Amino acid sequence: MCTKENNLCCCIFSIIASILLGVGVAAVFSASAIATIAVLFYITLIIGIISLLIIIFLLYCNRGKSCFCINNFCLITTAVGAIISSIFALTSVTGVSIAAAILVGVVTFFLISNIVNLTEFIICLLCTRRCD
């Protein structure tokens, strides 16, 4: 895992994997190979909300304590980004266009990034238990 001195290593795998999968899903959507994309938006919204609820619950239960796992992961930013991008996509994507393909790529980027960071966060909680 990461140390407090080097927080970049926590996000680098998440960023690379998210960019590659986001571009791939956007290309498939742009080629009209996906019939409906709304399911992706709903899944992204649900996982983003669950991530925020986990963080809020953990912070509420550990009042006044600093948690190593929350401070050193990108989970808060990816959860908020996933919620905002999926709500925007749900309200604006109606057909296949370049803008819609870019938006699908952004939503996929936040979904994959959120899943990777949530997995790392849960592993950190289970393995280190460093909430002081």
Q: What is the pLDDT of residues 119-132, one digit of tens each?
A: 888 887 777 665 55
Distance between CA atoms of residues 58 and 13, nearest Å: 25
The residues, ordered by sequence, that sit 6+ positions from 75 with a Cβ below 8 Å of its Cβ are: 51, 55, 114, 117, 118, 121
Q: What's the mean pLDDT when you consider all of the chain? A: 80
- Most confident listed range (8-17, 63-72, 92-101): 92-101
Work out the pLDDT band at 110, boundaries 50, 70, 90: very high
Global pTM reads 0.81
State the pLDDT at residue 1. Answer: 46
